[in-house]
C-alpha cells in the first residue's frame, strides 16, 4: 500500500495545526481537546457538482465545482471561491480548515468554508467567464445564503466574478441578500474590502516590528520582498510604500520582477501591473518595456526569495507552498527579520521549521519572526465580516470607519497570538513568542469551546 498522502495539502495543514497543539502545554492542561481536534478536522459537509458551460465557439465545456462547508459553530460558513486549474478537494479542504481558525481569530461571527472550481479564467473571454459563473451559481445557490454560507473571492475570483455570481443568485432565488462578499461598492460591497487582505498583512507586521524593537522601528526604511502580483500583493505593496518602505520584488506564476540596487516599485508601476492582471495577462509582458527593463530584472520561472538581496521583511502573497526550506535559509542569510504570509500556507512545513528553529535559537532581536497566514492575512475575511454586518443593517460605513476597524482587528489578532503563546508555549519573558503556536491555539480553543457548548463533541 502506498504511503503517499491522499490529500497532501489538507494533511499538511492538519499536521501544522496538530503539531503546534501537541508541542504546547494545551493538551496537558485540557486533554479533552484531543477529541475536539478529531471532530473539527472532519468537514460538516462537502458539496461537489458539475458545471457545464458554453465557450465562444459554442462548444460544451465541463468543470468540477466544490463547496466545503467545514465548520459553522461560530457563524455561517465563510470563505472564498478559487477558480484555478489546480483546484481539487485536498486544496479546498486545507483552505477551509485554515479558514475556520482564521475566522475565529477575527473575533467576528463566522464559521469556516471554502470552494471553487478547476476552471481556468486565463485565456477566457469576459463572456465565457460570465457564462461559467452563471452555471456555477445555478447549482451553488441551492446550498448557500446570507445566514447559511457566504462565499467571497480568492485566486481567480475578483469583483467581476463576484458580480456575475451575485447576479445569478439574485435572479434564481429572487432575493437580494448579502450572500457574497467582495461585491461592488454601489451594490452592497464594503469600502476597503479590495484592500483589506494586503493592508491587513502590513498592519499585522507593523505590530511585529514595533513589538520586536520596543516601538523604535516601523516599516519606514525597510526593504520588503513580496511575491505575487494579484489582489493581496498589490495592496500589501501599496501600503508598504505608503508607510515608507521599499518594495523590491513582485512575481506571478511565470516569473519574478526584482528591483535593481536600492530601487523600489512605485504606486504607478503597481497600478500598471494591476491593469495587466485585470486582463489576465503576465508581468513578463511589461518586463521588457524600456521603463521596466531599466529598473527591474525579470527572472522567468523564478520565485523572488533567493534573488532579492538584503531584505528586512518577506511577504509571500501568491499561493501555497511558495517558500521552501532552502529559500527560508536564504531569507535568513539575507538579513530578513520578519516573514508574514499574505497567501494561505505560503510557507512549506520545512520553511516554518527553519524560521521557528532560528527564532528559538536566537532569542531576541537577532531572530527571524514568522507569522502564519491564518493570523496575518485575516484582514480580508474580517472586512468581509464587516460587509455582512453592513448588508444586514442596510448601511454603509465610510472608508475611514472600515479601515479603523480593520486596524483594531489586526492589532487584536496579533496580541491574541502573543498572549496565547506566552500562556501555553513560551516560558521566558523578553523572547519572541511563537505566533504560529499562539494563533493556532487561540483559534482552535475558541472554535472547540463553541462546538462543545453546542454538543458537537463531549
Ligand atoms: P489573485 O488571483 O489576485 O493573485 C494570485 C497571484 O498569485 C497572481 O500573481 C498569480 O499569478 C500568482 N499565482 C497563482 N498561482 C500560482 C502558482 N501556482 N505559482 C506561482 N504564482 C501563482 O489572488 P489573491 O491575491 O486574492 O490571493 C493570493 C493568496 O492570498 C492566495 O493564497 C489566497 O488564498 C490568499 N488570500 C487571499 C485573500 C483575499 O482576500 N483575496 C484573503 C486571504 C488570503 P498569475 O497572475 O500568473 O496567475
Residues found in the chain: 458
Whether 280 shows a pLDDT value over 50: the answer reads yes
Phi-psi region of 13 (alpha: psi -120 to 50; beta: other; left: phi over 0): alpha
Nearest to 151 by CA among 130, 128, 169: 169
Distance in Å, CA 377 to ligand 1 centroid = 12
Q: What is the pLDDT of residue 2?
A: 54
User: What confidence score (pLDDT) does residue 79 get?
Assistant: 98
SS3 content of the chain, % helix, strand, coil (to 5): 50, 15, 35
Q: How far is the CA of 227 from the centre of ligand 1 (A)?
A: 9
Task: Specify the pLDDT at position 381.
Answer: 98
Please tell me the pTM assigned to this model: 0.97
Is residue 135 over pLDDT 80? yes
Indicate if the pLDDT at residue 232 is higher than 80: yes
- If you average pLDDT over residues 320-336, what whole number do you get? 98
Q: Which residues are 47's β-sheet partners?
A: 67
| Alpha-carbon distances, residue 112 vs 115, 129, 299, 396 (angstroms) | 11, 26, 37, 25
The whole-number average pLDDT for the span 242-246 is: 98
Which residue, judged by its Cα, is nearest atom 30 of ligand 1?
Answer: 343
**Atom 48 of ligand 1, nearest CA residue:** 253
Which of 154, 321, 342 should be mutated for ligand 1, with most atoms under 8 A from CB?
Answer: 154
Asked if the model's pLDDT at residue 4 lies above 80, the reply is no
How far is it, in rounded angstroms, from Cα 419 to Cα 377?
Answer: 19
Spatial distance between the Cα atoms of 286 and 200, rounded to a whole number of angstroms = 28
Known binding residues for substrate: 78, 99, 102, 153, 384
Contact 138, 42 (CB under 8 A): no
Average pLDDT (49-61) is 98
How confident is the model over 216-236, as a mean pLDDT? 98
pLDDT band at 1 (very low <50, low <70, confident <90, very high): very low
Task: List CB contacts of 234: < 8 A, sequence separation 6 or more.
Answer: 198, 270, 273, 274, 277
Most ligand 1 atoms within 8 A of CB, residue of 252, 283, 302 to mutate? 252
pLDDT exceeds 60 at position 175? yes
| Cell, residue 394 | 442596510
Query: How much is the average pLDDT of 86-114?
Result: 98
Longest dimension (CA), the chain: 66
Ligand 1, residue 86: give the atom nearest the CA.
18
318 CA: nearest ligand 1 atom: 7
What's the pLDDT score for residue 161? 98
- The set of catalytic residues is 114
The model's confidence at residue 5, banded by pLDDT at 50, 70 and 90, is confident
- The x, y and z cell numbers of residue 402, run together, are 472600515
Asked if 74 and 447 count as a contact pair (C-beta separation under 8 A), the reply is yes
Residue nearest to ligand 1 atom 23, measured at CA: 155
Residues with CB under 6 A from ligand 1: 153-156, 197, 228-233, 252-254, 277, 282, 317-319, 342-344, 377, 380
The 10s digit of each residue's pLDDT in 402-438 is 999 999 999 999 999 999 999 998 766 667 899 999 9
Task: Tell me which of 121, 253, 304 to substitute to probe ligand 1's pocket, judged by most ligand atoms within 8 Å of the beta carbon.
Answer: 253
164 has a pLDDT exceeding 70: yes
> Residue 315 C-alpha to ligand 1 middle, in angstroms?
12
Residue 312 has pLDDT above 90, yes or no: yes
For ligand 1, atom 17, which residue shows the shortest CA distance?
Answer: 253
What would the mean pLDDT of 192-202 be, rounded to a whole number? Answer: 98
* Mean pLDDT confidence for 305-321: 98
Average of pLDDT values for 196-201? 98
Q: What is the pLDDT of residue 429?
A: 61
Amino acid at each position: 500500500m502506498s504511503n503517499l498522502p491522499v490529500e497532501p495539502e489538507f494533511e499538511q495543514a492538519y499536521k501544522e495545526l496538530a503539531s503546534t497543539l501537541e508541542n504546547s502545554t494545551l493538551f496537558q492542561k485540557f486533554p479533552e481537546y484531543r477529541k475536539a481536534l478529531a471532530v473539527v478536522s472532519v468537514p460538516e459537509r462537502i458539496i461537489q457538482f458539475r458545471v457545464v458551460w458554453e465557450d465562444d465557439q459554442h462548444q460544451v465545456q465541463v468543470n468540477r465545482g466544490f463547496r466545503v462547508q467545514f465548520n459553522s459553530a461560530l457563524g455561517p460558513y465563510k470563505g472564498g471561491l478559487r477558480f484555478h486549474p489546480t483546484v481539487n478537494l485536498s486544496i479546498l479542504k486545507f483552505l477551509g480548515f485554515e479558514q475556520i481558525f482564521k475566522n475565529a481569530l477575527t473575533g467576528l461571527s463566522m464559521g469556516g468554508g471554502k470552494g471553487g472550481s478547476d476552471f481556468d479564467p486565463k485565456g477566457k473571454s469576459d463572456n465565457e467567464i460570465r457564462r461559467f459563473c452563471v452555471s456555477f451559481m445555478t447549482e451553488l445557490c441551492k446550498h448557500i445564503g446570507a445566514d447559511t454560507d457566504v462565499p467571497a473571492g480568492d485566486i481567480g475570483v475578483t469583483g467581476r466574478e463576484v458580480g456575475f455570481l451575485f447576479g445569478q443568485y439574485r435572479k434564481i432565488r429572487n432575493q437580494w441578500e448579502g450572500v457574497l462578499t467582495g461585491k461592488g461598492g454601489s451594490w452592497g460591497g464594503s469600502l476597503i474590502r479590495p484592500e483589506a487582505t494586503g493592508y491587513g498583512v502590513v498592519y499585522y507586521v507593523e505590530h511585529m516590528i514595533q513589538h520586536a524593537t520596543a516601538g523604535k522601528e516601523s516599516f519606514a526604511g525597510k526593504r520588503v520582498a513580496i511575491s505575487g502580483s494579484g489582489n493581496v500583493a498589490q495592496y500589501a505593496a501599496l501600503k508598504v510604500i505608503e508607510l515608507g518602505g521599499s518594495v523590491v520584488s513582485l512575481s506571478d506564476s511565470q516569473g519574478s520582477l526584482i528591483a535593481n540596487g536600492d530601487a523600489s516599485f512605485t504606486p504607478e508601476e503597481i497600478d500598471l501591473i494591476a491593469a495587466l492582471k485585470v486582463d489576465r495577462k503576465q508581468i513578463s509582458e511589461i518586463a521588457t518595456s524600456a521603463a521596466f527593463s531599466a529598473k527591474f530584472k525579470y527572472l522567468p520561472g523564478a520565485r523572488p526569495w533567493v534573488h532579492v538581496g538584503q531584505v528586512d521583511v518577506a511577504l509571500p502573497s501568491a499561493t501555497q507552498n511558495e517558500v521552501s526550506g532552502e529559500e527560508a535559509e536564504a531569507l535568513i542569510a539575507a538579513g530578513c527579520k520578519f516573514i508574514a504570509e499574505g497567501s494561505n500556507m505560503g510557507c512549506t512545513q520545512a520553511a516554518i521549521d527553519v524560521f521557528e528553529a532560528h527564532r528559538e535559537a536566537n532569542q531576541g532581536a537577532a531572530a527571524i519572526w514568522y507569522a502564519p497566514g491564518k493570523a496575518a492575512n485575516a484582514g480580508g475575511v474580517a472586512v468581509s465580516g464587516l460587509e455582512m454586518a453592513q448588508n444586514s443593517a442596510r448601511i454603509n460605513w465610510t472608508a475611514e470607519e472600515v479601515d479603523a476597524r480593520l486596524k483594531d482587528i489586526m492589532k487584536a489578532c496579533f496580541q491574541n497570538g502573543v498572549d496565547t503563546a506566552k500562556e501555553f508555549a513560551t516560558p521566558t519573558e523578553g523572547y519572541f513568542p511563537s505566533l504560529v503556536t499562539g494563533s493556532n491555539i487561540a483559534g482552535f480553543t475558541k472554535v472547540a469551546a463553541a462546538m462543545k457548548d453546542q454538543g458537537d463533541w463531549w
